[in-house]
Structures are given as C-alpha cells and as structure tokens.
Copies of this chain bind each other. A is one copy, B any other.
C-alpha cells in the first residue's frame, strides 16, 4: 500500500514554439504547450506524480491558474485515503461547490501507478496481456499530412512511412476542396489501395457542407472523417453519420468532448462510428474509464486522440487497459501517434512496427508524464531560454 502525504504542488507554463514550423496546422499558429504539474510527497521513497494538460500556447496561464485553484483539494491528502476512495477524491476535484461553475475542464492529475495495477482490477486478461507485451497496440500516424506541408514533403513522408511499418495514415482536409482532392489522390496513390486512410476536418464545416464535401472525397476510401463540424453538434454528427455510413465512411469525434455525459449523447444519438477520447480533456482516469465502458456497451471502437504534448504517454495505458479488460478486440481500433516533442519526456512512448510498445510491468513509468528537467527549464513561458530568445528577437 502506498504511504505518505502530498506535500507540494507546483505547476509550470511550458510552451514549444511549434508555430514556427507549420506542424499542427489544424489550429491557427499553435505553439504546442502544456500546464505541467508536479506533485511531491513525503513518502520515504520520494514518490512524485507528474501530470499534464495540453494547450496551444496563449491561455496556458489560465490553466495554470485553474490548477492553483484546485490545489487545496490535493495538498496534504493522504495517499492511502486517495487510493482507498478514488471515487470520493475524483468527485471532490470535479464537484467543488464554488469552483464547479467556473471549471468545466478538470486537469488530469494522477499519481504514478503502474499499468499492472489497473488491469489487475478486472481480471479476464487471459492471453491478452501477453499479446500486448509481444506485439503492442496498433498506432496510426498524423505526422505525414498537415495542410501546410508541400507536395514534395508529402511524397517524401509517404515513401518513408511504410518502411517503418505504417499502414494507417491521416490527412487534414477542409480548407480547399480542389487541394484536398489533389493531396488525397497523391497520398492514396503513394500508399496503395490496401492501406488505411483517414481524414480530419477540424470542425471546418456546417452539417450539409460536411456531407457534400466528404462525398466528393469518397473515391479515396477514407475509413473515417474526423470532426466534420462543431464538436457540440451531437445531432448534426448523427445526420452526417447517416449520410456517410452508406458510403463506407464513419464519423470520428471526441477530442473536444469534456465529459462522459457528452459521450453518452454521442453514443445514444448514433452520432459517431469511432470514439476519440482525449486523456487530458477528460478529467482523470475515472472519467476515461467510464467512457471506455460506455463505448463497449454501444459496440463503438475507441481510437483515442493523441499527439500534442504528453497525450501519447498517457493514452497508451488507457488503450492497453481497454483491450485487455474491456473491448478484447483490435478490429477498427488504433491509437493516434505523432512523433513531435517526444524528446522532452523522460519516458517517451516507444513505437515499433507501427504499434505502441507496452510499458514494462516492472518499469518506472506508470500513468504519468515526467519531463526532462532541461526541457522544462528551457521552455518555461516567458522566462525560459527558448522564449527569452524568441521574445527578444520579436521585439527587435
């Protein structure tokens, strides 16, 4: 049993100047960023917890402020009490009488708990754990087709990718139909008819526009269209699903979905064929698990959103748990993977043969996201070395 108390909470505003490179072109000039939380304990072994939430630059200071507003629910808490009543702890964090009006996005803060502890709870893992340890969990890559990449860059990426074993590719669409047709044709030709292609519109369309636009891309056989319209438009997604499923195209949505109740709507309304939960947008492991269980009930595959900063490191534990203890299936299931910014993590995910390698049961890294001290120091906003330099250059 864990022993000790949470003795200190510190939070950092970390920003990576990705807007300089054209990566992550789904948002306007994003600087991939994170509010990074470190929990210290007075445990004898010096146990620490590392949490993160993904942001896009400006506004990270608001999330930092929100973490500070929640700190009193965490500080001085006994670790045994937390583990003994996860639900009570989670409710306290998400239902603070005064804060609940303000905070509808609760940060994902968790203590280091190895994956083995999670999957122990449900048993029934027979053979599945071994399968994951041997082969890993299938991944797909979004690194190869941002809107702003040139054709030459696309060609180069599409040629390299299969060498790494990649068989599933996602392309960003929705800015210009003719350009989409050209890029999708290029990519489909490069990867061949057997490989899987997905499309991501990042909420660019209204409902009829989505149906019309995607119908014109149907010849490139996308498995799904992701975020065709406003993420809150549950019934709009149901309409889009109804129109596109007969064309063999599913709707994928969920990265902006803030709680289990919204996912319940999407599932009940038959608004999605692929569920893309986000481990930072959902408040904690508790909320994520309830979404995995609902998806199982509705027989909808979970293909989590990842990438950003630290999302891959968190989500790998959830998908392994999903396979071993809930879904028991890999059909139509895969987890997003983006190879940016991994170098800043002490225990980055490991990808082999286009699959997430299962973290070792005896390893150090559980559901947490410890970053390298040097990276943290350099990328603190606005006082880290990287930003001092950039901000000075901007001024001159």
Contacts and interface: CB of A to CB of B under 8 A. Distances in A.
A97 interface: yes
A288 B101 CA distance: 19
Nearest to A232: B261
Contacts of A62: 62, 65-66, 69, 102-103
A104 interface: yes
Given A98-B31, A230-B261, A59 B55 contact: no
Contact of A59 (B99, B230, B262): B99
A380 to B, nearest CB: 17
A225 B235 CA distance: 24
Interface in A260-306: 261-262, 264-265, 268-269
In the complex, the count of this chain's copies comes to 2
A259 B233 CA distance: 11
Contacts of A29: 97-98
A28 B91 CA distance: 14
A136 interface: no
Contacts of A268: 235
A175 B27 CA distance: 44
Contact of A30 (B97, B232, B261): B97
A58 interface: yes
B265 A234 contact: yes
A74 interface: no
A305 to B, nearest CB: 12
A343 interface: no
A63 interface: yes
A56 to B, nearest CB: 4
A78 interface: no
Interface residues of A, number: 42
B235 A265 contact: yes
Contacts of A235: 264-265, 268-269
A264 B232 CA distance: 9
A325 interface: no
Contacts of A58: 69, 96, 98-99
B230 A30 contact: no
A69 B62 CA distance: 8
A191 B210 CA distance: 53
A54 B101 CA distance: 9
A228 interface: no
A57 interface: yes
Given A65-B61, A98-B27, A102-B63, A264 B233 contact: yes
20 contacts: A30-B97, A31-B98, A55-B98, A56-B99, A56-B102, A58-B69, A58-B96, A58-B98, A58-B99, A59-B103, A62-B103, A65-B65, A102-B105, A232-B262, A232-B265, A233-B261, A234-B234, A235-B264, A235-B269, A236-B264
Which 10 residue pairs across A and B have the least CB separation, nearest first? A28-B97, A59-B102, A58-B98, A57-B98, A232-B261, A65-B65, A59-B99, A56-B98, A230-B261, A56-B101
Interface of A: 27-31, 54-63, 65-66, 69, 96-105, 230, 232-236, 258-259, 261-262, 264-265, 268-269
Given A29-B98, A59-B96, 10 more contacts: A55-B98, A55-B101, A56-B100, A56-B101, A58-B96, A59-B102, A61-B65, A62-B69, A233-B265, A234-B234
